[in-house]
Structure 1
Amino acid sequence: MTGVPLKHQRISRILAREIRAGRRPAGERLPGEHALTRRFGVSRTTVRATLAELSEEGLITIRIGKGSSVLFDGRPPDDRLGRARALAVRGAATSARTLAVRETHDSALAAELGLEKDEFVCVERTRELVPDGTVVSYERGPGCGPTTDEQRTSRTADDSFAEHAVALLDPGHFRLSLAFG
């Protein structure tokens, strides 16, 4: 190899620069294969190799039949102020769709959280990207079913219980980040 980048590598670098510079914000769909073929004057095979490389770098997600969408830039979202705010700070407009609201009882969770009463309001909702309605998370409150994936308990300033939520996150839009110290 002479060190000269291949066509798909050159195109990948151009698109990666556009994404990292914010010209293609998180959640935006990339032009389709045919449009990229015309823009760069290359074959669909080259475009597919480009998209695969961008996906491996964590810059886009590829969905069969839906196209490719720009991911968040790899930084874990800071959701101390809530997931919606964390996404908004990252440039992704979202909306929440409420699926169900009901009263429930969960004595094990009440004990875990140090609460006297085991009464909770179960809220199930999805969080969706505004441009195309792509669901990026399914969230549910206590007592809505088995707890898996990400769990978060929120408390008020005086340390009173406020909310306990479980979220199933779309790996195409969120990444797991671990820190050891």
Structure 2
Amino acid sequence: MIRQVRFDKKGRVIKRLMQRIERGQWRKGSVLPGEHRLAEEFAVSRGTLREALAELKRQNYIATQSGVGSIVTYDGQPLDHHLGWARALAASGFSVTTELLDLALVHRPDLHDDHGHTDYVRIERRRITDTGVAVSLECALVPACDGLERLPDTGLVDGSVTASLAACGFIGTHGDQWVGCRPLDAREAQTLGRAEGTVFLAPVRVTRDPKNRFVERVDSLLDPAHFRMHLTFGAPPP
């Protein structure tokens, strides 16, 4: 019975912390209050609070940085919340802003066999830290149909690709991700403010809906100094 009560307390803390992060009360890059303060607020022991934080870290809602504490890494678009994909997450602790660089229709017949479309909306974004360092370049392709083709004129819904897709009935539930690395070409290097040939992580993610309909392809370039890969495998002990 004591173990059950402890589990319920931990589960309650996990749920409430996740809700605050998902609702934007604590945004990506912000530092959570200290363990003592959170333990007092939720009326749990420091041990229970630490177990809850460990679960948030496992699910990539937060990361820990020595001398700083627990830092929010959730940005509203987790690559894997329940599905077990390999995932890339920001764990640098910097506050990051997103710049929209391009929003345009493109014709890509070379991708028809892979995704079933030849026309796409191309969405290019760059993320920059509060110190002015560009840490990622992301190019998303979404199908230019069912209302999405109007995005270049209307803009993204609330600045979000996910919200824009959902508004047109595209809800991603599963997919695949591949991770490699490659040197930056001249254009990419200029956009990121790096030397041509600098090696970046280069994940590619393809998302599909419950009917296996193509939703989105995202090709990213990530500064390995600010991003890392996390893969969870096996089952934890009971």
TM-score when normalising by structure 2 = 0.40
Q: Secondary structure at the match of 2:71?
A: strand
Task: For 1:54-93, list aligned pairs within 5 A.
Answer: 54-71=56-73, 72-75=75-78, 80-84=123-127
Q: Secondary structure at the match of 2:31?
A: coil
CA contact (8 A) 1:20 1:73 kept: yes
Could you report, residue by residue, the CA deviation over 1:22-75 in whole angstroms, capped at 9, with x for unpaired residues? 111111110011111111122111111010011112111122322001112344
Q: 1:36 aligns with which of 16, 35, 38?
A: 38
CA contact (8 A) 1:28 1:69 kept: yes
Q: 2:227 aligns with which of 158, 171, 179?
A: 171
Corresponding residue for 1:14?
Answer: 16
What is the CA–CA distance in structure 1 between the aligned matches of 2:34 and 2:222, rounded to whole Å?
A: 35
Q: Number of aligned residue pairs: give it.
A: 122
Question: CA offset at residue 11 of structure 1?
Answer: 0.4
For structure 2, which runs of at least 5 residues remain unmatched after alignment?
80-97, 102-122, 135-182, 204-220, 232-238
What is the CA–CA distance in structure 2 between the aligned matches of 1:68 and 1:170, rounded to whole Å?
A: 16
Query: Between Structure 1 and Structure 2, whose CA radius of gyration is higher?
Result: 1
Say whether residues 1:140 and 2:140 are aligned partners: no
Q: Secondary structure at the match of 2:41?
A: helix
What is the CA–CA distance in structure 1 between the aligned matches of 2:60 and 2:126, rounded to whole Å?
A: 20
What is the CA–CA distance in structure 2 between the aligned matches of 1:175 and 1:94, rounded to whole Å?
A: 24
Q: 2:130 aligns with which of 79, 86, 94?
A: 94
Question: CA offset at residue 83 of structure 1?
Answer: 1.6
For structure 1, which runs of at least 5 residues remain unmatched after alignment?
88-92, 99-108, 126-138, 152-164, 177-181
Question: What fraction of aligned residue pairs are identical, expressed as a percent?
Answer: 27
What is the CA–CA distance in structure 2 between the aligned matches of 1:50 and 1:14, rounded to whole Å?
A: 10
CA shift in 2, pair 1:95/1:39, >3 Å: same
What is the CA–CA distance in structure 2 between the aligned matches of 1:69 and 1:167, rounded to whole Å?
A: 19
Q: Report the RMSD for the aligned CA atoms in angstroms.
A: 4.1
What is the CA–CA distance in structure 2 between the aligned matches of 1:22 and 1:95, rounded to whole Å?
A: 22
